[in-house]
Amino acid sequence: MDPTTGPLLGFYDYDLLVIGGGSGGLAAAKVAAGLRKKVLILDLMAPSARGIKRGLGGSSFNADSIRKYLQQTSLLGIAINDSQMYGWKFKEEVSHGWSDLVQAVQEQVKSSTVELKRELKSCGVIYLNAWGVIVGPHTVEVTETNGRKRCLTAETLLIATGDRPQYLGIPGDKEYCLTSEDLPSLHHPPGRTLVVGGSAEGLEWAGFLFGLGMSVTVMLQPDLLPGFDCKMAEKIENHMIVGGVNFLYHCSLTKVKQTEDVISAPPQHLSKGRLQVTVMYKDGQTKHEDFDTVLLTVGRKACTSDIGLECVGVQCSQDTGRILVNERDQTNIDYIYAVGSVQHGHPATTGLSVHAGRLLARRLYGGESILCDYTNVPTVMLTPLEYAACGLTEEKANLTFGENSIEVYHSFYWPMEWTLPSRHKNSCYVKVICHIPEQERVVGLHIMGPNAGDVLQGFVTAMKCGLTKQQLDATVGIHPGSAQVLTSLNQTRRMTDALMLRGNC
């Protein structure tokens, strides 16, 4: 068969061929196979610069699992300290074993990969640990791990290759710095750590490591939580500063070098050695400082550059490299679709990718027409004080509707489980953003506190149904519990600003 002309007479090897093992692609594949379609998944990603391989499920699925494990590890450390106020006594000193944690996490990730493969097989999906590159219309060249090549055809192609952490392109970054893909495989404690980047990923890792007793410094390169609600971002930052995390401002990392001999440590490409970083400030001054570990969290790059998209003319954003799609998750090439973090202009969460993948398969093969709604997508940040949000930020709401059309209700609260150990009375916080002309319809909801993501989940459904402030007020709160604070909000941003202005007079 000539790969430049595509299959003859419309006969294809597969109905659906998924390039990449991202969570959205897996979800679409399982639904399509359940609808009696012949489905193939090709998933072989290059290892990180430090040699760490990525498991099936894509960056979001595996990273989310690891994030949750590490958050729980950190929270358990806090709980141990709190437990003394609840009457618990320990016969011996409590300490944390980093290598034990790493081993347990890696075993769980491997177990999840095995379970995913078992699910695919039971659904009838064919899975190949192979590299796929588009070489012509409906045609993909498959390269297996043994080097064998062959061409396969499919009526529909789905791109679900996900994204990978970016590097800075400075001397020493790939040689000595780690990314979020590498750190969970580090078999020695990270020690004094510099986290480069003010992203959600960066603040989460800073919180995890600090909670395990590491000295952590965050370099906000370039900004603090870009795209998130500014006032919420400041509260998260303040909570971390009060807790003991250091922050560096108005500077950038320009060089990393090793200053001490390397001590070998498994896996083979991860090693232990003192690192010297060069930091340049806005005024041109430079400063040198030593760390044990430098973690880069400066954004993620879509895995779209080497899968043959240009061969058939799939359009990508010049700025992000992510694939341009329409409301049907369809590219400009009618038989090629994309889901997950490879899409340009859409949020990237595991839950959204899975939801979009399922809906896509049902539209393609199940006779359904429901589109994925990319608005009001809930998200959670597993920082030391968990943050969850759905809908608009306060800044976006003011820009969209105008400040006079927006009412913001907010309040601090003190979880009851925090009262005995006297933990941070004014840290937990909620904010509800309402559009006044629509009977104060809730257009944004933000929660900062324990289990914020779980608290938010039910309110997301209510927001999809047009939740209003009046309906929130009419809801019976569950006592004792933190979520009830959302049913009794009476303080507005305007009232708070007026009080502050009066107090400054």
**pLDDT confidence of residue 6:** 54
Q: Do domains 173-298 and 385-504 have the same CATH topology?
A: no
**pLDDT confidence of residue 273:** 67
Q: Are strands 193-198 and 293-296 parallel, antiparallel or unpaired?
A: parallel
Q: What is the mean pLDDT of each run of 10 residues along the chain (505 residues)?
A: 51 96 95 97 78 65 86 94 93 91 92 91 95 97 94 97 93 95 91 96 96 96 90 96 95 92 48 85 95 95 94 95 97 97 93 97 98 95 95 97 97 95 91 98 98 96 97 96 95 88 68
**Distance from C-alpha of 329 to C-alpha of 341, rounded to nearest angstrom:** 12
**pLDDT confidence of residue 384:** 85
**pLDDT confidence of residue 264:** 47
Q: Where are the domains of the chain?
A: 8-165+301-365, 173-298, 385-504
Q: Which one is the CATH code of 8-165+301-365: 3.50.50.60, 3.40.50.300, 1.10.579.10, 3.20.20.70? A: 3.50.50.60
Show the 3-state SS of 394-411.
Answer: HHHHHHHHCHHHEEEEEE
Q: Are strands 130-136 and 246-248 parallel, antiparallel or unpaired?
A: unpaired
Whether the Cβ atoms of residue 19 and residue 110 lie closer than 8 Å to each other: no
**pLDDT confidence of residue 195:** 98
Domain 173-298: assigned CATH number:
3.50.50.60
Catalytic annotation, pick one of 96, 346, 410, 479: 479
CA neighbor of 45 nearest in space, from 36, 57, 27: 57
**pLDDT confidence of residue 261:** 57
Whether the Cβ atoms of residue 126 and residue 40 lie closer than 8 Å to each other: yes
**pLDDT confidence of residue 83:** 94
Which residues lie closer than 8 Å to 108 by C-beta, 6 or more apart? 65, 69
**pLDDT confidence of residue 109:** 87
Please give the model's pTM, rounded to 2 decimal places.
Answer: 0.91
**Distance from C-alpha of 45 to C-alpha of 64, rounded to nearest angstrom:** 18
Q: Verify whether residue 479 is a known catalytic residue.
A: yes
Can you identify the CATH homologous superfamily of domain 385-504? FAD/NAD-linked reductase, C-terminal dimerisation domain (3.30.390.30)
**Distance from C-alpha of 75 to C-alpha of 223, rounded to nearest angstrom:** 27
**Distance from C-alpha of 68 to C-alpha of 380, rounded to nearest angstrom:** 11
Residue identified by tokens 């049902």 is 362
* Number of Cβ atoms within 10 Å of the Cβ of 155: 18
